[in-house]
Amino acid sequence: MLAERTVRLDREAARRRRAVLVATATSILVGVVELVLAKLLALESLLAEGVHTLLDGLDSVIVLISVVLAARPADRSHQFGHGKFEAVGAAIEGAFITCAGVWIGYRAILRLITGQTPDAIPPFVCAVMLVASLLYLVVSIHLMREAKATKSPAILAEALHLRSHIYITGGMAGGLLIGSLGGYLIADTLLALGISACLIAISVRVFRGVFAQFTDEALPPEEIEQLGRIIDRFSDSFIEVHGIRTRQSGAECHIEMHLVVDPKMTVFDAHALAHRIEDAICEPWPTARAAIHVEPLNTDSPERDQWLRGQPKVRTGDDSPEEREFIH
C-alpha cells in the first residue's frame, strides 16, 4: 500500500510539473511576439502586455521550482512535508503581478498626462492579439482542470493569471481595432491602463489563496461535506466521528479526526477501520494526509444515550474540534 501511495504521489508531482511547463512555454512564446510588435509599432498597450507576459514566464519558472520543492517527502526539518513551498511560489508570483500592474499603470497615467499616442494602430495587430487570446483560453482551461485535480495553489495561480490574459488580449484586440478603424489612438493608452487594473485585481485573488494556506484555513465547506460523505460509508463500524480538522499545504490537504468506537472493538480491528477510511479519503484526494485518532466510547456515564440520540454519526458542522470530547 505504501509503495502504491508513493507511486501516486510521484505521478501527481509529475502532473503538476507538466502543467507549469505548459504555462511557461505559452507565456514566453506570446510575450516575445508582443514585445517585438510593441518595439516596431511603439504601442504602449502591447509593451505593457508583453512585459506582463514575459513576467509570467519568469513567474512560471519560480512556480516550477516551488512545485519541485513541494513534492519532496517529509524529512527531519519539515516533518509535515514541504507542501507550503507551493504557497510561497504563489506568493512570489502574486508579488510579480502586483509590481507589473503598478508599473504599467504608472506609464499609462504619464502618457495620459503628456498626451502621448502612437503614430498608428495597424489592423493586423488585432488579429495577432485575437489568436493569442484563443491560445490562452485553451491553455487556461487545461491548467484549471489540472489545478482542480491536483489541489495545487501554484497551478491555480498560473491558471488564474493566464485566464486574465484571455480578457486582456481579447479586449486589446477589440480596443485596438476600434482605435485603428476610428482613428482613436488614445485607445492604446487606455488599454494599458485597463491591463494595470486587471493585474492588480488578479494579484488580490492570488494573495487571498496564499493567505488562506499560511493561516491554516480549513478546506472549503463543499469539500468538508464531501469528506463527511466518504467517512459516513463506514458508519456501521463506528459510534461517531468528530473533531475534524483540515488545512491545505500546497497540493496536500491535511485531515485529522477522532474516530469513536465501541470499547469492545479490538485494537487490530480499530486500526484496520482507520486505514480503510484513510484509503477512501485518498481516492478523491491522492495527496491527502489523514491522521485518525481512535477513541473508545465512554460507557461509564449514564448520560451516554443522550449524547448520541438524534446526533449525526459524522460531525462536520461543529464550531470547535473539541466540542464532543466529552463522549470518550
d(CA 154, CA 161): 11
Provide the strand spans (E) within the chain. Answer: 240-249, 252-261, 289-296
Instruction: Report pLDDT for 4.
Output: 62
Within 10 angstroms of residue 261's Cβ, the number of other Cβ atoms is 21
216, 26, 265: which is closest to 138 by C-alpha? 26
Ordered DSSP codes for 40-90: HHT-HHHHHHHHHHHHHHHHHHHHHHHHHHHTSPP-SS-TT-STHHHHHHH
- Residue 269 CB contacts under 8 Å (≥ 6 apart), including other chains: none
Instruction: Report pLDDT for 41.
Output: 78
d(CA 261, CA 277): 13
Q: What is the CATH code of the structural domain delimited by 2-214?
A: 1.20.1510.10
d(CA 297, CA 247): 27
Within 10 angstroms of residue 311's Cβ, the number of other Cβ atoms is 12
Provide the pairing of β-strand 240-249 with 252-261. antiparallel
Q: What is the CATH code of the structural domain delimited by 221-327?
A: 3.30.70.1350
Q: If phi over 0 gives left and psi between -120 and 50 gives alpha, with beta otherwise, what is residue 258?
A: beta
Grid cell in block for residue 150: 491536483
d(CA 262, CA 265): 6
- Collect the ranges in the chain with pLDDT lower than 70: 1-10, 12-13, 67, 71, 116-120, 153-154, 179, 182-183, 188
The answer to whether 252 and 87 are in contact (CB under 8 A) is no
Instruction: Report pLDDT for 183.
Output: 67
d(CA 241, CA 260): 6
* C-alpha 119 chain-centroid distance: 42
- Per-residue pLDDT tens over the stretch 163-194: 877 877 777 777 777 767 766 777 767 777 88
**DSSP state, residue 244:** E
C-alpha distances (whole Å) from 66 to each of 61, 78, 87, 211 are 9, 15, 8, 17
d(CA 238, CA 198): 51
**DSSP state, residue 282:** T
Instruction: Report pLDDT for 266.
Output: 93
- Residue 122 CB contacts under 8 Å (≥ 6 apart), including other chains: 41, 180
The answer to whether 324 and 241 are in contact (CB under 8 A) is no
| Residue-range domain boundaries for the chain | 2-214, 221-327
Grid cell in block for residue 220: 472549503
Residue type, 130: L
173, 141, 134: which is closest to 158 by C-alpha? 141
Percent over 70 (pLDDT), the chain: 90
The answer to whether 248 and 217 are in contact (CB under 8 A) is yes
Same fold, 2-214 and 221-327: no
